[in-house]
């Protein structure tokens, strides 16, 4: 299992600003990824996020937990069969499943009610990875800039430098993708 502290700054963008920033960074790697999110009352109570990400025909299970001002991200590569089995509530085994069981989360009670597809553009910078995300989910479409950095202080200054020419007002991170998708899911449910 791969563990890392996720230090990131993120802000929603308009389509025009998204395209302007993308033009500013012509050297990027782009790809499509789909996140399948899982919900459970204990995940929500503990402020955990559980997903399976599909990218280039590979699959990764991720559990994120709060850690001080950031998040501890744990990732495990899984097979497509494991992904399909997990969604169907069939048993699979890995370190994240072990953690969920230790936390009292019954795997059979997890719900996979929505997914989010991102056309992501990654730009490698000295301070971290700048990602421009074109997201679609539940009849919604939004644009987001994420800057995942190696150092909190240096990364934050670089993030402010990146958004300054576009007169963006950053107070705090925007809602996460899963929070936006969950909000849209509940709004569609009404």
| Tens digits of residue pLDDT in 26-70 | 999 999 999 999 999 999 899 999 999 999 999 999 999 998 888
Give the pLDDT score at 37. 95
In the structure, what pLDDT confidence band is assigned to residue 190 with cuts at 50, 70 and 90?
low
What is the pTM (predicted TM-score) of this model? 0.91
- Of 60, 84, 55, 80, nearest to 2 by C-alpha is 60
The domain of 48 spans 2-189
Number of domains in the chain: 1
Tell me which residue has tokens 């995300």: 133
Percent of the chain with pLDDT over 70: 99
* DSSP 8-class letter at 166: G
- Cα 101 to chain center, whole Å? 23
**CATH code, domain carrying 124:** 2.40.320.10
What 3-state class would DSSP assign to 175?
Answer: coil
């Amino acid at each position: 299992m791969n563990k890392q502290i996720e230090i990131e700054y993120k802000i929603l963008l308009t389509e025009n600003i998204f395209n302007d920033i993308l033009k500013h960074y012509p050297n990027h790697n782009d790809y499509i990824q789909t996140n399948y999110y899982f919900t459970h009352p204990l995940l929500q109570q503990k402020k955990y996020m559980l997903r399976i990400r599909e990218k280039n025909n590979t699959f990764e299970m991720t559990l994120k937990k709060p850690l001080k001002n950031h998040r501890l991200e744990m990732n495990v590569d899984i097979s497509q069969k494991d992904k399909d089995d997990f969604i169907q509530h069939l048993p699979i085994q890995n370190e994240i499943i072990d953690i969920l069981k230790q936390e009292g989360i019954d795997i059979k009670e997890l719900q996979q009610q929505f997914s989010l597809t991102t056309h992501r553009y990654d730009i490698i910078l000295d301070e971290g990875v700048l990602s421009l995300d074109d997201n679609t989910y539940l009849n919604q479409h939004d644009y987001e800039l994420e800057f995942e950095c190696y150092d909190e202080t240096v990364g934050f200054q670089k993030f402010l430098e990146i958004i300054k020419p576009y007169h963006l007002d950053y107070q705090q991170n925007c809602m996460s993708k899963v929070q936006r998708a969950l909000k849209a899911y509940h709004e569609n449910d009404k």
